[in-house]
Amino acid sequence: MFKLLKYALYDILKSRFALIYTLFLALVAVSIYQVSDDLSKVSLSLMNIMVLFIPLIAAVFATTHFYNNLEFIELMLAQPVKRFHVFVSQLLAVVVMLSLSLVIGFGLPMLIWGADSSLITLLSVGVILSVVFAGFAFLASVLTRDKAKAVGASLALWIYFSLVYDGLVLYVIYSFADYPLEKATLAMVLLNPVDLGRILMLMQLDISALMGYTGAFFQQFFSSGYGVVIAGIALVIWMLIPNVLATRVFRRRDF
């Protein structure tokens, strides 16, 4: 499996996407650092960019990578190699590349201009979102041989979790504003990895007061050891669900 992973990583590096992606993230981070010296404002700006673009890039690149290497995958399946090793090596290669690009692209400017705990949390959330949406992309890819449908499904999931879901949550909060919705809102946040990552970042920036009573409730919950454990478990589950499902579908699918 390590040889397959090594080849998959080499194939990604050969495409130069990793270099372009890393330089793009570094350029964005440097630009934001040049605009403001306040680390809290830097964290907030990077967060807004990260929760919107990192999942999108992860979803599109992972889908494209799978179909670009489909012939190689089929060739490996004809060899005495376990299906699990073939699939996981491709998935890990994408996840490693996306994570390293994020850590290097955002991390180097942080080392040069400074970073606090909120920026460390930012990198962690970015890596987690990369894993989650790469998993969604691979799941969409193994469910259909049509590249256009897979890309469309990946984009639909990104639009839902990054844009549509927030609108649904706001509608529920507005419709039931007369009822105590703190626990219900918390449950809805846990059902969306993007929102969960965003809330964790906002709690680090100490601006929960701007979110009213619900923000104070989130601050109390996520500041406690119990809240951190629950949030961590939820993020681990979000990383596992699409990747495990994609692996199971791939092992049973007849290519």
Q: What is the pLDDT of residues 130-173, one digit of tens each?
A: 999 999 999 999 998 888 999 999 999 999 998 888 888 878 87
CA 241, distance to chain mean position in Å, is: 13
Write down the pTM of the prediction: 0.90
Contacts of 145 (CB under 8 A, 6+ apart): none
* Total residue length of the chain: 255
Q: What's the mean pLDDT in 242-248?
A: 93
The more confidently predicted of residues 180 and 25 is: 25
Q: What's the mean pLDDT in 2-23?
A: 84
Copy the structure tokens of residue 163: 């844009």
pLDDT tens digits for range 180-208: 777 777 888 888 999 888 887 777 765 55
Task: Calculate the alpha carbon distances from 52 to 44, 58, 207, 253 in Å.
Answer: 13, 11, 20, 32
The answer to whether 4 touches 94, Cβ cutoff 8 Å, is: no
Type of residue at 57: I
Cα(227)–Cα(221) distance, integer angstroms:
5
How many domains does the chain contain in total? 1
The more confidently predicted of residues 4 and 220 is: 4
The boundaries of the domain holding residue 120 are: 2-252
CA 182, distance to chain mean position in Å, is: 25
Copy the structure tokens of residue 202: 């906002």
Q: What's the mean pLDDT in 215-239?
A: 75
Q: What's the mean pLDDT in 112-140?
A: 87
